Amino acid sequence: MSQPFFQFKQFTVWHDKCAMKVGTDGVLLGAWTPVESSARILDIGTGTGLVALMLAQRCSASVIALEIDGTAAQQAAENITRSPWGSRIEVVCQDFRLYSNKNNSLKYDTIVSNPPYFTDSLKCPDSQRNTARHNDNEELLKGVSNLLSPNGTFTVVIPMDASDSFKDIASSQGLYPSRQLLVITKPGAPPKRTLISFTFIKQDCKEEKLLTEVSRHRYSDEYIKLTREFYLKM
């Protein structure tokens, strides 16, 4: 049985009650998302609360950690209560569509999401699933455009092969890519994951690449630099 928790330098994430465990995608999202001038942050689909905790560690913003699953929301709340930033992070158990409709007067400087419906997407290509995912992305990006402040940033982590369609849907909601990180898991391999930051401003998108491992269980220097404030052994 895998360990029921993951220990970071400043906090611990228990994930035994959550479908989405602590993983590289979430760590990258929490470490790479720009938060320098953020006062209000929204984490859509917080799961264990990992990304909300990482962003709280990196800045002084208040954070709403939104989660539709009651069990996951409860575990996220427990993880956050045990952390140094419990007073700045609020877990809300609610569907994002309902939340965005009820709270469209609220504006966030930073919105992040690690969409759960992309889990296992590389293993199971399916036209029906792709259609459903397209509809999910439309709902997600519509809600983000309602809640993002005029100068705010929305950052997402998705499979590389979904990035073009995701950008197309984003542009239909007035959101345009400003930064993109191509994640390469081993030397010579094509990127399978990507992180993209969107804003309401049309601009040239700055493309970056990140190699996570130079060999099995041996992290690259750039990955260590990005995540060293979080991982215990970095």
Q: How far apart are CA 125 and CA 122, in angstroms?
A: 7
Each residue's pLDDT tens digit, 140-171? 999 999 999 999 999 999 999 999 999 999 99
Residue 137: partners with Cβ closer than 8 Å, 6 or more residues away: 115, 165, 166, 169
pLDDT tens over the chain, length 234 residues: 478 999 999 999 999 999 888 999 999 999 999 999 899 999 999 999 999 999 999 999 999 999 999 999 999 999 999 999 999 999 999 999 999 998 888 899 999 999 876 644 444 455 444 544 556 899 999 999 999 999 999 999 999 999 999 999 999 999 999 999 999 999 999 999 999 999 999 999 999 999 999 998 899 999 999 999 999 987
pLDDT for residue 136: 87
Residue 74: partners with Cβ closer than 8 Å, 6 or more residues away: 17
